[in-house]
Chains A and B, each alone.
Chain A
């Protein structure tokens, strides 16, 4: 399937979950300071593994950065 992952086109295997998308952007195991929205809705961290993605969804994976 094709999703928009942090604004870029990304190909993920069918059945991929939010947790898989998080790994693709380079986060391995880190949870604190990381959050995910799919089509604008937050997916709870506890639900990443069991939330499947579907074709053409927009996935945003964000992380804490320095800011005022």
Chain B
């Protein structure tokens, strides 16, 4: 970590904070929040409001007649954009079908594409992911794929026409932060679409670091939903994303092995 360089890029330098261009729309918030894992709808409502997020994710499951309350009604009432996901899909076929169902259910072409390889790691299945992404782009979807922190796979997803790439920092729900910042940096360096850190965020510094590394946004869920105080953590995440983004644009100083005095040495009195 000590040798890590975060070079300021001309595109992100400058005092004026730009809106977040994603999927052909401009957003005011760079934080996307998942709605899974909250202890109650009330807790979710307070956290979503505190997060300032405009985009929140939702899933589709078989109708459970005993389910209480409607997360979607709440999301609609708060004026948030419901971004459906394909969580739980293991094959391109399932993910594509789920995306088509989501298009009908939510009247949106936007899809957070997840195709996982196994339930222990929840890591993406790269082969199925590319396959699903190509099909969905062909069908006119705005595809936001959850992907590995693999620069080549990220490039392939971008080439396939995805509207963003969303690499994991570490496994979903693990709270382990950004395990490989160098890979994330390489992905950011060459991507022409927004890079959104998706998965692994444990606390606010992880979200700030993602932004400092040049991510366009952060998507997180468990770190807020399962925090002792979800509302307070949501506020912390909002501030962390804003702080990290500002720091990135401000351009950090290079890391050096030795000290460099910030107080001038000339004019020191001789007190011998």
Contacts and interface: CB of A to CB of B under 8 A. Distances in A.
A55 to B, nearest CB: 21
Interface residues of B, number: 37
Nearest to A40: B97
B162 to A, nearest CB: 19
A33 B97 contact: no
A6 B37 CA distance: 24
Interface in B37-68: 37-38, 44, 57-65, 67
Interface in A11-68: 25-27, 32-37, 40, 42, 44-45, 60-68
B70 interface: yes
Contacts of A32: 72, 76, 105-107
B58 A65 contact: yes
A60 B58 contact: no
Contacts, number: 100
How many of chain A's residues touch chain B, expressed as a range? 20 to 34
B61 A63 contact: yes
Contact of A33 (B62, B85, B106): B106
B101 A27 contact: no
B36 A64 contact: no
A68 B104 CA distance: 19
Nearest to A64: B72
B172 A68 contact: yes
B63 A67 contact: no
Given A33-B105, A40-B97, A42-B104, A64 B58 contact: yes
A6 B105 contact: no
Given A32-B72, A61-B62, A61-B63, A66 B44 contact: yes
16 contacts: A26-B65, A33-B58, A33-B105, A36-B101, A45-B104, A60-B101, A63-B63, A63-B64, A64-B72, A64-B84, A65-B60, A66-B35, A66-B38, A67-B85, A68-B59, A68-B221
Given A65-B59, A67-B59, 20 more contacts: A25-B65, A32-B72, A33-B58, A33-B105, A35-B104, A35-B105, A40-B97, A42-B101, A61-B63, A63-B60, A63-B62, A63-B63, A64-B58, A64-B84, A64-B105, A65-B60, A65-B71, A66-B71, A68-B35, A68-B36
Q: Which 8 A-B pairs have the closest CB atoms?
A: A67-B59, A68-B34, A26-B65, A68-B221, A35-B105, A64-B72, A35-B101, A66-B35
